């Protein structure tokens, strides 16, 4: 059960400002990669091993969903972090029930593998998110082009294929959707013929999924580019594999933002600067000193950040998931900034929480004007989604007095021990 609003027994995170951060933090594996890698295990029987898995609630929910479908997951805690063993014995029930789909968006990633391999799927229609409606029309349109038919009934979308296999198609997205790219990709690996995905999303997590699919035996060209060419392989020919999840660029950015507002010098072990180039350039414009290192990234900040204008865009642009962190940093920067949201127009709800901390932010449609203040002032605030929650923790580092954050369960969906990691860098932060 999730805690209700105002529940006095609900856990909180308490943050106090005033300490520069120092030391080293290990960046965990990426949530938005690992959940898709887990779904891809539906494509081949046998024992799959995924390493560098973050300890987050969403991995547990994805395991529950896969268990309901027929893949069992065992978690092994080793010296090199968490490893998952996923066993697919081929006894599959291709149904993704409402109770699990409504808990994580990534559950829709079973659509492509189930349809592509078993020719049938029943998926509860995903609902909206706190930051707006999140349709799957592009997923369904692309799969229809490959020979699937869909019917929506009683809150479920039921997909079938006309012949024994999907067939290759030219799928051009009007917008480079992450989820739709992944579903077409995982459906296309077993399709008859070649599928060309144009205007594909280019996020590093998609390249990570492609790398795993190739190691399972899939034939994919153009990995990392906006045109993915998938040559379908023979049915049931993919094999189980072992794959290491890429590090989480959003969690890495969270520690950069923390150093940005608190000051100090921190080494982000395993961070991949090549996955965050645009963001690092803009963080440099704000005054962070960033140096790529062997197996990581060093960040140093001193004095007040500088205001910048910034707009969210699909990769390689500035990700919408970074935005709450960026707005938080700009709330204490020197000058006035304009932030434009191009992906989720409704993704400004956390602004009201930042305003409770004294931030001077005005929103108009998908723009926010942020007038930097030298310091924020601690208050009780609530996290409404994962990224907004992490941004409020960072804001607490820039606020005088205590910042008490509720809605901690959102943060724990996607952050692997944010509190412990920040505390190890010297921040005064605890989970109560």
Contact residues for ligand EPU (CB under 6 A)? 31-32, 35, 105-106, 134-139, 175, 177-180, 201, 319-321, 343-344, 386-387, 414
What minimum distance in Å lies between the beta carbon of 176 and ligand EPU?
A: 7
Q: Is the CB of residue 134 less than 8 Å from the CB of residue 105?
A: yes
129 assigned to active site: yes
Place of tokens 């580092």: 397
Taking the least distance from each CB to ligand EPU, the nearer of 376 and 394 is 394
Q: Give the residue with the Cβ less far from ligand EPU, 90 or 346.
A: 346
Comparing CB distances to ligand EPU, the nearer of 39 and 267 is 39
Nearest distance in Å: CB 319, ligand EPU: 5
- Using CB atoms, what's the residue nearest to ligand EPU? 179
- Minimum distance, C-beta of residue 309 to ligand EPU, in the bound complex (Å): 20
**d(C-alpha 351, C-alpha 407), whole Å:** 15
Q: How far is the CB of 167 from ligand EPU (least distance, A)?
A: 21
Could you tell me which of 6, 7, 108, 58 has the C-alpha nearest to residue 386? 58
Q: Which is nearer to ligand EPU, 228 or 319 (CB)?
A: 319
CA–CA separation, 224 and 316 (whole Å): 10
CA distance to 40, 111, 216, per residue, from 86 (Å): 10, 18, 14
Residue (134 or 373) nearer to ligand EPU, CB: 134
| Cβ pair 239, 44 in contact under 8 A | yes
Catalytic residue among 58, 129, 248, 385: 129
| Nearest of 323, 326, 417 to residue 27 by alpha carbon | 417
**Smallest separation (angstroms) from ligand EPU to the CB of 129:** 7
Say if CB 59 and CB 413 are below 8 A apart: no
- DSSP codes joined into one string, 123-190: EEPP--BTTB----HHHHHHHHHTTEEEEEETTEEEEEESSSS-B--EEE-SS--HHHHHHHHHHHTT
Dig out the tokens for 28 from the structure.
């965990």
Identify the three-state secondary structure at position 19: coil
Query: First and final CA of the chain: distance in angstroms?
Result: 18
Least CB distance to ligand EPU at residue 387 (A): 5
**Nearer of residues 131 and 283 to ligand EPU, judged by Cβ:** 131
Of the candidates 53, 54, 87, 57, the residue with the CA atom closest to the CA atom of residue 73: 87
Residues taking part in catalysis: 129
């Amino acid at each position: 059960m999730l805690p209700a609003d105002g529940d006095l027994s609900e856990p909180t995170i308490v943050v106090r400002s005033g300490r520069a951060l120092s030391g080293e933090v290990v960046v965990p594996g990426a949530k938005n990669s690992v959940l898709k890698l887990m779904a891809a295990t539906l494509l081949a029987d046998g024992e799959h091993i995924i390493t560098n898995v973050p300890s987050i609630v969403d991995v547990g929910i994805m395991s529950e969903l896969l268990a309901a479908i027929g893949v069992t997951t065992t978690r092994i805690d080793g010296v090199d972090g968490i490893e998952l063993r996923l066993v697919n014995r081929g006894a599959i029930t291709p149904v993704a029930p409402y109770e699990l789909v409504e808990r994580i968006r990534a559950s829709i990633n079973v659509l492509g593998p189930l349809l592509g391999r078993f020719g049938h799927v029943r998926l509860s229609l995903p609902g909206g998110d706190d930051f707006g409606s999140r349709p799957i029309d592009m997923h369904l349109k692309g799969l229809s082009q490959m020979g699937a038919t869909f019917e929506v009934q009683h809150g479920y979308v039921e997909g079938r294929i006309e012949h024994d296999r999907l067939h290759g198609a030219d799928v051009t997205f009007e917008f480079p959707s992450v989820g739709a790219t992944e579903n077409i990709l995982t459906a296309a690996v077993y399709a008859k013929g070649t599928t060309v995905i144009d205007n594909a999303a280019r996020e590093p997590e998609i390249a990570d999924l492609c790398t795993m699919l190739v190691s399972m035996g899939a034939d994919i060209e153009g990995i990392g580019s906006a045109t993915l060419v998938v040559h379908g392989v023979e049915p049931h020919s993919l094999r189980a594999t072992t794959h290491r999840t890429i590090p989480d660029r959003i969690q890495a950015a969270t520690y950069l933002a923390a150093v940005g507002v608190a000051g100090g010098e921190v080494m982000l072990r395993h961070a991949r600067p090549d996955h965050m180039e645009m963001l690092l350039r803009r963080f440099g414009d704000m005054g962070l000193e960033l140096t790529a290192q062997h197996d990581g990234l060093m960040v140093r900040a001193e004095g007040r950040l500088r205001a910048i204008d910034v707009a969210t865009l699909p990769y390689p642009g500035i990700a919408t998931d970074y935005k709450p962190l960026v707005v938080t940093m700009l709330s204490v920067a020197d000058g006035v900034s304009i932030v434009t949201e191009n992906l989720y127009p409704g993704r400004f709800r956390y602004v009201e929480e930042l305003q409770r901390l004294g931030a001077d932010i005005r929103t108009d449609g998908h723009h926010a004007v942020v007038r930097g203040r030298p310091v924020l002032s601690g208050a009780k605030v609530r996290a409404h989604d994962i990224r907004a929650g992490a941004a409020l923790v960072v804001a607490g580092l820039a606020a005088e007095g205590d910042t008490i954050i509720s809605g901690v369960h959102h943060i724990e969906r996607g952050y692997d021990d944010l509190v412990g990691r920040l505390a190890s860098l010297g921040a005064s932060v605890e989970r109560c």
